[in-house]
Amino acid sequence: MFRLLMIIIAIFFIHSSWPFFEKQLEHTDLSKGISEVSTWKDSLEVKTTIQNIYSEIQTSLQQLGLLLDEFKQNDKPLESKNESKVQLTTPEQQEYSISNIELGDNRDDIIENLGVPIRSTINEYGTNWDTYHDHYHNFFMVMYGEDHKVAGLYTNQDLIASKNGIKLGTPKDTVRNLLGKPLTTIQKGLILYKLSDKEDYDVFLLDNDYITFFYDKHQGNTVTAVQLISKEMEDKKIDIYTKPSSQLKEGFEFQLFDLTNAARIQHQLPALTWDEHVQVTARKHSTDMAVNNYFNHTNLKGQSPFDRMKQDDIVFHLAGENLAYGQFSSIFAHEGLMNSLGHRENILRQGYKYLGVGVAFNNESQPYYTENFYAK
């Protein structure tokens, strides 16, 4: 409030001083116009008067600018002020760590150090992703094997540490120079699945761990996220897609919601609020696409996302929709959406306030994802 008062005083000072400036201009016959100032450049006295007036105006404007900058700085959200950066250390046992946690660490130690997770939801490995964050700052997910040791980790924030120097922002070429060629296939049971070479991620098998580096092609093909999965955990997943269940559907929905908010915070945007009303709209569209075997923002009745939201009595002045299909998990779906410009713009749009996510599976266990964003 004090700073705001100072700004008002500064503006009042400039406004109230202007008659004095006008009199000075009249006294020096400069009231003919600024364009004629150059014709008076031979008069030292007039030059001095002009310089003094100009200096006073400049000083006042500079003070006003500083006050405005300080006011804006102190008007930032509290969560930005309270953000504390994790002090990362080089991994001790493994090649990589996330938030100083390594594959193989004990669950009890993590619970003792970090407390219970903010959210725990089932994932495609038949276990849970435990989610930790501070208002989506320092966001990461961890899962455990049957021995209660860390079997999986993921983050899309600056929590990656490694012995070879790879971290958030490392170029794709550097990763490949250090680690060699990424995997082109992955085996599940007796089936060898081919990994797409057009995706914006690389998978490596290092020391019995699967390391997936995701790249942001809109930021120079640099590392934007990493997933670590133990080979033992990956081998237990016998199919490329997991048999669907209501628990997995809900897990994928909340995971995609959290991933979206973690990305927004990473880009200095406010987190969105989960909206159950629009989640129903999103889930109905995913189900419709999965059952009727199509993939489009416009459904078979010709309804747009906005039509469907209005039909469900959702009031909005701003709305958008993201769709994804066939990805192995919400992590892969989210990273793919971030590399698609139109979908990325929805994820990182300033004006949105609410988000609902709906997931459904077709008869081949492939997931359909719908994100509905809006503001009212």
- CATH topology identical between 96-236 and 246-375: yes
Q: Across all residues in the chain, what is the average pLDDT? A: 84
> Which is the CATH superfamily of the domain at 246-375?
CAP (3.40.33.10)
Q: Three-state SS across the chain?
A: CHHHHHHHHHHHHHHHHHHHHHHHHHHCCCCCCHHHHHHHCCCHHHHHHHHHHHHHHHHHHHHHHHHHHHHHHCCCCHHHHHCCCCCCCCCCCCCEEECCECCCCEHHHHHHHHCCCCEEEECCCCCEEEEEEECCEEEEEEEECCCCEEEEEEECCCCEEECCCCCCCCEHHHHHHHHCCCCCEEEECCEEEECCCCCCEEEEEECCEEEEEEEEHHHCCEEEEEEEEEHHHHHHCCCCCCCCCHHHHHHHHHHHHHHHHHHHHHCCCCCCEECHHHHHHHHHHHHHHHHHCCCCCCCCCCCCHHHHHHHCCCCCCEEEEEEEECCCCHHHHHHHHHCCHHHHHHHCCCCCCEEEEEEEECCCCCEEEEEEEEEC
pLDDT of residue 193: 87
Third-level CATH fold of 96-236:
Pathogenesis-related Protein p14a (3.40.33)
Domain range annotation of the chain: 96-236, 246-375
pTM of the prediction?
0.78
Q: Label residue 363 by pLDDT band (50, 70, 90).
A: very high
Q: What is the pLDDT of residues 136-176, one digit of tens each?
A: 999 999 999 999 999 999 999 999 999 999 999 999 999 99
